[in-house]
Chain A
Amino acid sequence: MIRFDGAAKRHPDGTLAVEGLDLTVPAGRTTVLVGPSGCGKTTILRMVNRMVEPTAGRVLLDGTDVAQLDAAKLRRGIGYVIQQAGLFPHRRVIDNVATVPYLLGWDRKRARTRASELLELVGLPPETARRYPFQLSGGQQQRVGVARALAADPPLLLMDEPFSAVDPVVRSGLQDELLRLQAELNKTVLFVTHDIEEAVRLGDQIVVLREHGRIAQVADPATLLAAPADEQVAAFLGRDRGLRGLALRPAEGIVLLAANTPLDGWTLAVDQEGRPTGWQRSAETIRQVAVFRPGLDTLRTALDSAVLSPARVAVAVDHAGRVIGLAPRAAVLDALDAAGPDTAAGITATGVADGR
């Protein structure tokens, strides 16, 4: 657990980066800091591993003021991932990942064995181990950065916009990977981003910051989207926060029609295994079929599937991609109602009118 206790940072040139932060980062969960550029996210993150020393207040790590710990030792116990990956260009990937174990005095063999495990854990093929960083794509370098941070199995990870330098598809893949890892490892993660979508996706707790590191709101993603503390936060979350909220609800309890039901003359063609191959109506064929997996995907995916289908139904498939039924748009919306009225209630309760 990390506790910021009035932690402030004023730079020698007089710039007030963080005014005085009181915040608790719970153990074993992901806390995301979001906020406009220059609001102090990086500064706050770096106070934890003493890359920035607070000019007032304290940062407590499991009850101990980090200022009392040896900086290098402290840092070896904290995973640190930055936007530019920061890999050593003259070392092979495997030795990059083993950097902290080497610093901790592990013997070479044990450190490398551990490093190979981690490369596998972050989804890199074994042949990557012998490459040099410049031989990897940006996304792969970022995975190596994550593997390096995890190598000595630290209980705490600090991640400063780790995925913002890669394209959206790679970013989404890296986010999935982090979610999977986190489900397995349960680290305390403090994650900085200015991408609200990423925050909602990864965070158990989201801290919305204003300039000088002032806290605007601390909440779980669903509450944040449903009930922003004020108009400024609502504006920061963006216009389609209602739709984003759908991404937090599982597509469950949707009443399905039989897969072979013709709708508006459209029928769903399937292959021998029962996987959808296209929509057909007399001579017309549409080959792309958007699907959702009940229980696995979110209501957002289900709604997306329904919107994209010419027959105006969402196509439900099982984990192997076989069609299990069709869900008309109305059925998807019914499931949304059944999921509870917290969106409307939240907004009424806090009295926020966001003009829609």
Chain B
Amino acid sequence: MGAAGIGGGTVNLYSWLSQFFGDPDRRHGPDSIVHRVGEHLLFSGEALGWALLLAVPLGLLLGYTGKAAGLVTALSGAARALPTLGLVTLAVLLAGVGDTAVLVPLVALAAPVLLVAACEGVRSTDPDLRDAARGIGLTHRQVLWQVCIPWALPALLAGLRTAAVQVIATATVASYVGLGGLGSYVVGGLATRDFAQTIGGALLVVLLAVATQLLFALLIRYALPAGLRRARD
């Protein structure tokens, strides 16, 4: 019994996980893993999409004109200080207002990261390169599109990766307002003291975040034009 007692935690974790993954509900129906992951990704994607739409064009423009650079940096600092727990609380409070209100904290989480990435990425364009581009006859719009945005791509993708991982991890709160996603396992498990569900759900959130991280690493490694990837290695 002694040996088994020492290994008890492991056995419990293993049995919880096998109980969680072995449940036929995980394979079919509204509570299946595929369905929950789908919900989770949809919701995260929606938040990221809004953040992209709001922050990136503004960031690119601010970065190109060099205006409000101080403001953007200050904003990034403030954004980093935003506590995730506070966001969760906010999400729960907002839940009364309506489902999509939960999007607000998620967008608020992602947007500053993207704003700073876009702004700094464009602003860091080699000034000689910008000057040469103007000098050979590109218009401002063409310099932005053909020179500064390609230059900013690595920074933008890195920002998008950070934002995506944060949103996916935090989107667990969506389930508080019945939007489903992997948070349902965690929240549901906590409510019914079903630790197998809670731990299984948490593991899935971690796995999804890691997969996203990997996907972006691959994207940054292989999808960028060679000149951008290696010129600054």
Pair B131/A73 contact, Cβ less than 8 Å = no
Binds A, one of B7-15, B69-77, B146-154, B188-196: B146-154
Contacts A90-B150, A132-B227 known; A49 to B135 CB distance under 8 Å?
yes
Pair A89/B138 contact, Cβ less than 8 Å = no
- Tell me the complex Cα distance, A84–B131, Å: 10
Contacts A86-B128, A103-B142 known; A134 to B135 CB distance under 8 Å?
no
B137 in complex: contacting residue of A76, A85, A90, CB < 8 Å: A76
Pair A88/B133 contact, Cβ less than 8 Å = yes
- Tell me the complex Cα distance, A92–B150, Å: 13
Contacts of A86 in B (CB 8 A): 128-129, 131-133, 135
**Complex A-B, nearest 4 residue pairs according to Cβ-Cβ distance, in ascending order:** A86-B132, A76-B137, A75-B137, A132-B227
Contacts of A148 in B (CB 8 A): 136
Cβ distance A81 to chain B, nearest Cβ, rounded Å: 9
Pair B142/A132 contact, Cβ less than 8 Å = no
Q: A51 interface residue, CB < 8 Å from B? A: yes
Pair B227/A90 contact, Cβ less than 8 Å = yes
Contacts A84-B128, A86-B132 known; A103 to B137 CB distance under 8 Å?
yes
- Tell me the complex Cα distance, A86–B226, Å: 17
Q: List 12 A-B contacts (CB under 8 A).
A: A51-B131, A51-B135, A75-B136, A75-B137, A82-B132, A86-B132, A88-B129, A88-B227, A90-B150, A90-B151, A91-B225, A132-B225
For the complex, count residues of B whose C-beta is within 8 A of A.
22
Q: A149 interface residue, CB < 8 Å from B? A: yes
Task: State the total of A-B contacts with C-beta under 8 angstroms.
Answer: 73
Pair B137/A88 contact, Cβ less than 8 Å = no
- A3-50 interface with B by 8 A CB criterion: 46, 49
Cβ distance B152 to chain A, nearest Cβ, rounded Å: 11
Contacts of B132 in A (CB 8 A): 80, 82, 84-87
Pair A134/B137 contact, Cβ less than 8 Å = no
Most buried by B among A90, A92, A134: A90
Contacts of B150 in A (CB 8 A): 88, 90
Given contacts A75-B135, A86-B132, 17 further A-B contacts (CB under 8 A): A46-B135, A75-B137, A80-B135, A82-B131, A82-B132, A86-B135, A87-B129, A90-B150, A103-B136, A103-B137, A103-B138, A132-B226, A132-B227, A132-B231, A133-B231, A134-B231, A148-B136
Contacts of B137 in A (CB 8 A): 72-77, 100, 103
Q: B139 interface residue, CB < 8 Å from A? A: yes
Q: A99 interface residue, CB < 8 Å from B? A: yes
- Tell me the complex Cα distance, A206–B12, Å: 88
Contacts of A80 in B (CB 8 A): 132, 135-136
Pair A72/B231 contact, Cβ less than 8 Å = no
Cβ distance A135 to chain B, nearest Cβ, rounded Å: 8
Pair B227/A133 contact, Cβ less than 8 Å = yes
Mark B128-170 against chain A: 1 for CB-CB distance below 8 A, else 0: 1101111111110010001100110000000000000000000
Pair A90/B228 contact, Cβ less than 8 Å = yes
Contacts of A99 in B (CB 8 A): 136
Nearest chain A residue, comparing its CB with the CB of B225: A90
Contacts of A49 in B (CB 8 A): 135
Cβ distance A164 to chain B, nearest Cβ, rounded Å: 14
- Tell me the complex Cα distance, A49–B134, Å: 10
Pair A100/B136 contact, Cβ less than 8 Å = yes
Contacts of A90 in B (CB 8 A): 150-151, 225, 227-228
Contacts of A132 in B (CB 8 A): 225-227, 230-231
Pair A89/B135 contact, Cβ less than 8 Å = no
- Tell me the complex Cα distance, A61–B95, Å: 68
Mark A130-151 against chain B: 1 for CB-CB distance below 8 A, else 0: 0011100000000000001100
Mark A90-131 against chain B: 1 for CB-CB distance below 8 A, else 0: 111000000110010000000000000000000000000000
Pair B136/A89 contact, Cβ less than 8 Å = no
Cβ distance A30 to chain B, nearest Cβ, rounded Å: 19
B231 in complex: contacting residue of A75, A76, A89, CB < 8 Å: A89
Contacts A75-B136, A134-B230, A148-B136 known; A89 to B129 CB distance under 8 Å?
yes
